């Protein structure tokens, strides 16, 4: 037989077009029969004709499960939805829950693991100098984007995983409402499919956003343990050029406590000449009380 001779489908017997053959381990499959397989099935090339026939029988039976599926909860991503029938202990992941799409109905007991995967992309921002050359900011600045994916492993005869992405387009770093929505949706899906409690929000470890607590994100005003220079800071402060409280080393501002700023009236142990002083006085030219050493004035 020639290389381009038409073949017959080993499942339905129809002629297979020039570009319509889906190769099996021991035969051929037309594209119409291939479209009836589970969308999560990935081992077609290593499957035999007999294995494909058994799966297609299962797929026909699955239509009855779709008809009898009663949704008790639904979680909607941009493209995929997670449908639960908690009365029967079943779930499915699909764009639409109907016989035409025929999504695989899977027992909740078949779930072996489920987690939310957040993929972060970081790109350094640059600016053009006066010569038109690209330069990095000091400290460096970054542009962040995020994708949210559910990694779902199951134990079924036909497929082992049902991974799907919650968002269609990457979420930009400044879209904080979307970030919270996708993280909350992902954690709710994980909780519904595994029975584990959903995590609480507030302890954020996602870099690229203004953060509170232990913060290491440069380029934003931060609270807590702060390492961002160029903003007024509270606590342990090392930012020069702003009035500071506590252990102060900023010259040029009036300071309290242990003062080393000359040119301002100071209290305590004073060494600033040119101002009236009390206690042990060594400033000549002013009336003094106690032990007086200023001659030329009436003394007591």
Residue 106 or residue 208, greater confidence = 106
Region 266-279: mean pLDDT is 44
Residue 16 host element (H or E): strand 15-16
Provide the token pair at 279. 């206690």
Contact between 222 and 211 under an 8 Å Cβ cutoff? The reply is: yes
User: In Å, what is the CA distance from 90 to each residue of 57, 106, 281?
Assistant: 20, 6, 90
Residue 286 or residue 23, greater confidence = 23
CA 164 to chain centre: 17
Alpha-helix residue ranges (DSSP H) falling in 68-140: none
Q: Kindly report which listed range (105-109, 130-134, 193-197, 295-299) carries the lowest average pLDDT score.
A: 295-299
User: Per-residue pLDDT for 211 more than 50?
Assistant: no
Using DSSP bridges, classify how beta strands 223-225 and 212-214 pair: parallel, antiparallel or unpaired: parallel
pLDDT tens per residue, range 38-51: 999 998 888 999 99
User: Per-residue pLDDT for 156 more than 60?
Assistant: yes
Average pLDDT of the chain is 76
pTM of the model: 0.63
User: In Å, what is the CA distance from 4 to each residue of 33, 34, 92, 108, 280?
Assistant: 21, 20, 40, 46, 112
User: Per-residue pLDDT for 26 more than 80?
Assistant: yes
User: Per-residue pLDDT for 216 more than 50?
Assistant: no
Separation CA 15–CA 267 (nearest Å): 102
Give residue 64's pLDDT.
97
Separation CA 153–CA 262 (nearest Å): 71
């Amino acid at each position: 037989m020639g290389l381009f001779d038409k073949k017959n489908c080993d499942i339905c017997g129809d002629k297979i077009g020039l570009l319509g053959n889906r190769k099996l381990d021991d035969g051929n499959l037309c594209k119409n029969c291939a479209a009836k397989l589970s969308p999560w099935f990935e081992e077609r090339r290593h499957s035999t004709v007999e294995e494909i026939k058994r799966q297609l029988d299962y797929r026909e039976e699955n239509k009855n499960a779709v008809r009898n599926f009663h949704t008790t909860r639904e979680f909607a991503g941009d493209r995929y939805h997670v449908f639960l029938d908690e009365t029967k202990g079943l779930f499915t992941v699909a764009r639409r829950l109907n016989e035409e799409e025929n999504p695989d109905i899977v027992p909740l007991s078949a779930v072996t693991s489920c987690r939310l995967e957040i993929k972060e992309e970081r790109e350094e921002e640059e600016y053009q100098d006066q010569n038109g050359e690209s330069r990095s900011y000091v400290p460096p600045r970054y542009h962040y984007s995020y994708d949210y994916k559910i990694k779902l492993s199951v134990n079924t005869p036909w497929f082992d995983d049902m991974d799907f992405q919650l968002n269609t387009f990457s979420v930009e770093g400044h879209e904080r409402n979307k970030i919270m929505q996708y993280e909350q949706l992902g954690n709710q899906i994980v909780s519904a499919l595994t029975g584990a409690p959903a995590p609480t929000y507030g302890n954020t470890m996602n870099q690229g956003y203004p953060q509170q607590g232990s913060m290491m994100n440069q380029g934003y005003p931060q609270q807590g343990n702060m390492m961002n220079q160029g903003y007024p800071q509270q606590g342990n402060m090392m930012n020069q050029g702003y009035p500071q409280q506590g252990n102060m080393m900023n010259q040029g501002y009036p300071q309290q406590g242990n003062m080393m700023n000359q040119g301002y009236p100071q209290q305590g142990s004073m060494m600033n000449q040119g101002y009236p002083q009390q206690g042990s006085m060594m400033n000549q030219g002013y009336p003094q009380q106690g032990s007086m050493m200023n001659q030329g004035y009436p003394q007591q």
